[in-house]
Amino acid sequence: MEVACKYSGYIARQQRKVARVRRMEDRRSPASLAYAALPGLRNEARQVLTRFRPTTLGQAERLAGINPADVTILLLAIERHAAAG
């Protein structure tokens, strides 16, 4: 009981993080997304994404050479693409 009280904040934060990762894992990336045209994306990330063409954001996040900032840019591009189409 004492341990649960001490670590309840940490456990809740980890559960939120797991839920966020699961939502991102299933987020589909459109096949027509032009990685070369995404502003702010690093050159290394452009090359890796163009080479592997991940189908979900989760796949993109696990690729070597992709950092959290690249994932954020990719997420915004996917959301813009969904809103436009």
**Domain spans in the chain, listed from the N-terminal domain onward:** 2-84
Residue type present at position 80: R
Return d(Cα 38, Cα 44) in angstroms, integer.
Answer: 13
Residue 11 has pLDDT above 80, yes or no: yes
DSSP state, 85? -
The phi and psi torsions of 28 (rounded to 5 degrees) equal -80, 140
pTM of the predicted model as reported, rounded to 2 decimal places? 0.73
pLDDT score for 59:
93
Residue 7 has pLDDT above 90, yes or no: no
Query: Which class is 2-84 in CATH?
Result: mainly alpha
The tens digit of pLDDT for each residue in 20-73 reads 778 878 889 998 899 999 999 999 999 999 999 999 998 999 999 999 999 999
Structure tokens belonging to residue 38: 């995404």
